[in-house]
Chain A
Amino acid sequence: MPKLNIDGQDIEVPAGENLVLAARRIGVEVPVFCYHEKLSIAANCRMCLVEIEKMPKLQPACQTVATDNMIVKTSSPKVIEARAAVMEFLLVNHPLDCPICDKAGECMLQDNYMGHDGKSSRQQDTKTAKPRLEVLGPLVNYNAERCIMCTRCVRFMDEIPKNTQLGVFGRGDRNVIGVFDGKPLDDPYSLNVVELCPVGALGSLDFRFESRVWSLDKTNSVCDGCSKGCNTETHSKKEHVYRMIPRRNDSVNDTWMCDEGRLSYHAHEEQRAEEPLTDGKRASDATALSAALGVLANAVKEKGNGWGVFISPTLTNEGAFAWLSYVKANMAQAKVYFSGRADGVGDQLLRRADKNPNRAGIKAIAEALGIPVGTYTDGITAKPLRVVMLGTETPDDRISSIVNAAQASLVIGAHLTQAFKGAKVALLSGTVFESDGSFVNEDGRVQRVRPCHGVKFAGKSYADWAVMLSQGLDKAVGAKTFAWANTESVFADLANAVKGFSGMRLLGLGLHGKALGSGRATESPSHQQASSPVGA
Chain B
Amino acid sequence: MGKIIKVRAQDAEVGAYEKAYLPEITKGIGITLRHVVKNLFGGDEKYTRTVSYPEEKVEYPVRFRGAHRLTPREDGAPRCVACFMCSTACPARCINIVAEESDDPNIEKRPKVFEIDELKCIFCGMCVEACPEDAIRMDTGEHVKPFTNRADAVYGKVDLLSMLGRTEKNGEQPVYRGAHEHRARQAPQHSPEGTLPVQDEQPEDAH
A residues with CB within 8 A of B: 95-100, 104, 123-137, 169-170, 174, 176, 178-185, 208-210, 212, 214-215
Contacts and interface: CB of A to CB of B under 8 A. Distances in A.
The main secondary structure of chain A at its interface with chain B is loop
A92 to B, nearest CB: 10
Contacts of A169: 196, 198
B198 A174 contact: yes
Contacts of B194: 179-184
Nearest to A185: B193
Contacts of A210: 99
Contacts of A126: 202-207
A182 B194 CA distance: 5
A168 to B, nearest CB: 11
B185 A129 contact: yes
B198 A133 contact: no
A130 B198 contact: yes
Nearest to B206: A126
Contact of B188 (A125, A133, A174): A133
Given A123-B207, A176-B196, A209-B82, 18 more contacts: A95-B183, A100-B83, A100-B107, A100-B183, A124-B207, A127-B207, A129-B203, A131-B188, A131-B199, A133-B188, A136-B193, A169-B196, A169-B198, A174-B198, A181-B194, A183-B194, A210-B99, A212-B88
A134 B191 contact: yes
Most chain B CB within a 10 A radius of its CB, from A104, A129, A208, A210: A129
Contact of A132 (B85, B132, B188, B203): B188
Most chain B CB within a 10 A radius of its CB, from A98, A100, A126: A100
Contacts of A208: 101
Interface string B170-196: 000000000100110110111111111
Given A130-B198, A131-B188, A132-B105, A99 B85 contact: yes
B134 to A, nearest CB: 11
Nearest to B203: A129
B81 to A, nearest CB: 5
B196 A134 contact: yes
A170 B88 contact: no
A185 B192 CA distance: 12
Contact of A129 (B83, B105, B199): B199
B84 interface: yes
Contact of B132 (A98, A133, A212): A98
Contacts, number: 99
A214 B108 CA distance: 21
A96 B100 contact: no
B193 A98 contact: no
Interface in B85-101: 85, 88, 99-101
A42 to B, nearest CB: 21
A170 B191 CA distance: 16
Contacts of B166: none
Q: Please give me the 6 A-B residue pairs with the lowest Cβ-Cβ distance, nearest first.
A: A99-B83, A132-B188, A184-B193, A178-B196, A100-B109, A131-B189
Given A129-B203, A136-B193, A215 B88 contact: yes
A373 to B, nearest CB: 46
A131 B85 CA distance: 26
B142 interface: no
B84 to A, nearest CB: 4
A135 B204 CA distance: 27
Contact of A130 (B81, B133, B183, B199): B199
B83 A133 contact: no
B197 interface: yes
Nearest to A170: B198
B197 A131 contact: yes
A510 B122 CA distance: 43
A209 B189 contact: no
A151 B203 CA distance: 26
B186 A129 contact: yes
Contacts of B108: 100, 132-133
Nearest to B105: A133
B183 A96 contact: yes
Interface in B37-59: none
Contacts of A137: 193
Given A129-B199, A179-B194, A214-B88, A100 B105 contact: no
Contacts of B188: 131-133
A214 B87 CA distance: 12
